[in-house]
Amino acid sequence: MSWADWLNGRGPDVAPSLLGAVLTSRTDQGRVAVALTEVEAYDGPDDPASHAWRGPTPRNAVMFGPPGRLYVYFSYGMHWCANVVTGPDGTASAVLLRAGRVVHGHGLARQRRGPRVGDPALARGPACLTRALAIGREHDGIDLGSGGELSIEPGARPLGVSVGPRVGVSRAPDVAWRFWVTGDETVSAYRRSPRA
DNA sequence: TGAACGATTTCCT
DNA sequence: GGAAATCGTTCAA
């Protein structure tokens, strides 16, 4: 299977294959790489929890584009979250990158996250992951397959994968489209939305 | 034009 | 367990 084919499917189908994949950030500061341990799927106009549910807007435009690009959005007035766009051009599936294990560049990641943050927590949680990798607004729409500042490649498939409801969503709170590596210490805690 | 809300994190009790 | 921080997007009027 080619790199492009890898991501050319519905979010919920592609999401489990992203576990173990390695996301690499290269800046003039250095390189940080994480092996993904937790992801969530959002599947376009039919998914009430998706940013694309109400159709295309300036914010979610990248979701409607071709697969293999990064959709970055600003959350709670202070955090950045990153998704891998999946599905063919014109559809709006995406997979939120919720957590990962830092496999390269621990020092730089800790410099970005804070000196008191332990290894397992460096990229635990979607906003922590983007912070460890220095992902921000400027990366919205970037191609992850061209070996640029950010890239993703398949990794070793984990031995065990768990499935459950997505974290913090108020709509469709029981849809089990969250996937994580069973028992992994770098996976974030589950919290149900108070509104759900 | 305004108000509510959010795919969160961190700190406090 | 609970609340604050903080602002772009969305929805109502």
Whether A179 maps to a domain, the answer reads no
d(CA A94, CA A87): 8
**Residue A45 CA distance to nucleotide B11 C1' (Å):** 37
Whether A136 maps to a domain, the answer reads yes
Whether A180 maps to a domain, the answer reads no
Which stretches within chain A are classed as H helix?
A: 3-6, 11-18, 106-113, 126-132
Rounded mean pLDDT of A137-146?
Answer: 97
Nucleotides of C under 7 A from a protein CB: 5-11
Residue A85 near residue A68, CB atoms below 8 Å: yes
**Residue A80 CA distance to nucleotide B10 C1' (Å):** 16
Smallest CA–C1' distance to B7, residue: A169
Find where tokens 């996976």 sit. Answer: A187
Whether A22 maps to a domain, the answer reads yes
Decide: CB of A39 under 7 A of nucleic strand B.
no
What is the reported pLDDT for A52? 97
What is the reported pLDDT for A187? 98
Which nucleotide lies at the shortest CA–C1' distance from A55?
A: C10
pLDDT for A45 beyond 90:
no
d(CA A102, CA A23): 10
What is the CATH classification number for the domain harbouring A120?
A: 3.10.300.10
Span A72-114, pLDDT tens digits? 999 999 999 999 999 999 999 999 999 999 999 999 999 999 9
d(CA A110, CA A105): 9
Nucleotides of B under 7 A from a protein CB: 5-10
Residue A66 near residue A115, CB atoms below 8 Å: no
Phi-psi region of A168 (alpha: psi -120 to 50; beta: other; left: phi over 0): left
Whether A139 maps to a domain, the answer reads yes
pLDDT for A44 beyond 90:
no
Which nucleotide lies at the shortest CA–C1' distance from A53?
A: C10
Whether A86 maps to a domain, the answer reads yes
Rounded mean pLDDT of A161-179?
Answer: 98
Decide: CB of A166 under 7 A of nucleic strand B.
yes
Q: Domain range spanning residue A41?
A: 3-155
**Residue A185 CA distance to nucleotide C6 C1' (Å):** 30
Decide: CB of A94 under 7 A of nucleic strand B.
yes
Q: What are the backbone dihedrals phi and psi of residue A85, each rounded to the nearest 5 degrees, phi first?
A: -75, 135
Which nucleotide lies at the shortest CA–C1' distance from A57?
A: C9
**Residue A152 CA distance to nucleotide C1 C1' (Å):** 38
- Amino acid sitting at position A69: R
Whether A176 maps to a domain, the answer reads no
Find where tokens 């089990």 sit. Answer: A176
Measured distance between the N- and C-terminal CA atoms of chain A, rounded to whole angstroms? 39
Whether A181 maps to a domain, the answer reads no
What is the reported pLDDT for A27? 98
Nearby residues of A71 by Cβ (< 8 Å), 6 or more positions away: A60, A62, A63, A82, A83, A84, A85, A94, A140, A141
Q: What is the number of domains present in chain A? A: 1
d(CA A35, CA A156): 9
Residue A88 near residue A57, CB atoms below 8 Å: no
